[in-house]
Amino acid sequence: MSSVPLRSTPLSSSSYLQDPRLSRLFSASSRPSNRAALPPFPRIRASAAGGFSSSLDTGATTELDAVSAFSHIVPDTVIFDDFQKFPPTAATVSSSLLLGICSLPDTIFRNAVEMALGDSACYGLENIEARLSCFTNKALVNVGGELAKMVPGRVSTEVDARLAYDTQGIIKKVHDLMKLYDNVGVPPERILYKIPSTWQGIEASRLLESEGIQTHLTFVYSFAQAAAAAQAGASVIQIFVGRLRDWARHHAGDPEIDASIGRGEDPGLSLVTKSYNYIHKNGYKSKLMAAAVRNKQDLFSLLGVDYIIAPLKVLQSLKESITTPDEKFSFVRRLSPQSANTCNFTQEDLIKWDQRSLAAAMGPASVDLLASGLEGYVNQAKRVEDLFEKIWPPPNV
């Protein structure tokens, strides 16, 4: 990893960081983000991508085949019915997924949940909170173990969002989940641990990665979060493109978003581009994941990023669209390590990020979206526990 110049930056007061939802994370300070101009992207035919082999070289192929030459395309589906149609390369197990499983008829996943609810190590616990936490951990891992058999890539496992401001709590939870995965025979290299990108979550990621444990930092809505996550050594950094665009449609006053709009850029796509270039120019190991992609144009604009989570309607459109090598249309690789190396970053971008500088750099969009994301995850975790309390023990226990 290349060295990064360090420089302290002055901090100024800002009222939006007084959001009580994030009071444990932030101090009342802010700093606008400056961007370097990005170079033009080379136009590359899809058939030129290394390692890609299909009918593209000899005849018609689909747009889905073509874009898959540049980025790992991950279906944004909760589960089940679309596995054969769009086989996922990776998967995520979460509270939301557990709720979906419990609403469906018998499946291997439903059986995995019921096996968790019948685990003697959990139902022997007298404390109800500890028992429900044990059930949830077991269910996540049992389902994650089944998913690991179905996908070639890694399974990302959600860490309880109620621990988002507790570094040691996150680390303990990850260690507990690791032991359970070991018990069901899933090796560590197949698992990511999905952690919210609060400062405490980023610090937990740094400590876990130093142990060789792979982390997936989510709810990244600002360059400061992405840069801090890269410096922490997070294995995967997830940016929600469409959510930033939605925020910008109804709000103003975020320096980073206002600057991207002033340049005529989409704020979500702009954040992915800058973060990708920062990671590659500075030699960080992190892989970047673009989520909340809303349409094919979003996806085309992100080609070259490591992972793109695409909705099923977008995947269906790509699969139904045929292209041939001799067509005038050619796909464009928007992001590449080569183009990243030509980018320039300000000294403010290249600081060593800490809790205070992160709080200073996060604008109202990232504060609002992080808080709402955490609230949603916490609510889902509570719903799972409420459901488990009602249906425990399952009928076959």
Q: Which residues are catalytic?
A: 194
Where do we find the tokens 């850029």?
265
Q: Which of 141, 137, 42 is nearest to 342 (CA)?
A: 42
Burial annotation 310-348 (CB, 10 A radius, 16+ → b, else e): bbeebbebbeeeebebeeeeebbbbbbeebbeebebeeb
Residue 238's beta-bridge partner residues? 289
CA–CA distances in Å: residue 77 to residues 12, 218, 329: 42, 17, 29
71 contact partners, CB below 8 Å, separation of at least 6 = 302, 303, 304, 305, 306, 307, 308
E-strand ranges in the chain read 61-62, 72-76, 91-93, 155-158, 191-196, 215-220, 236-240, 287-291, 307-311, 322-323
DSSP 217-252: EEEE-SHHHHHHHHHHT-SEEEEEHHHHHHHHHH--
What CA–CA distances, in Å, run from 199 to 138, 157, 204, 267? Answer: 27, 20, 9, 22
For 54, the 3-state DSSP assignment is coil
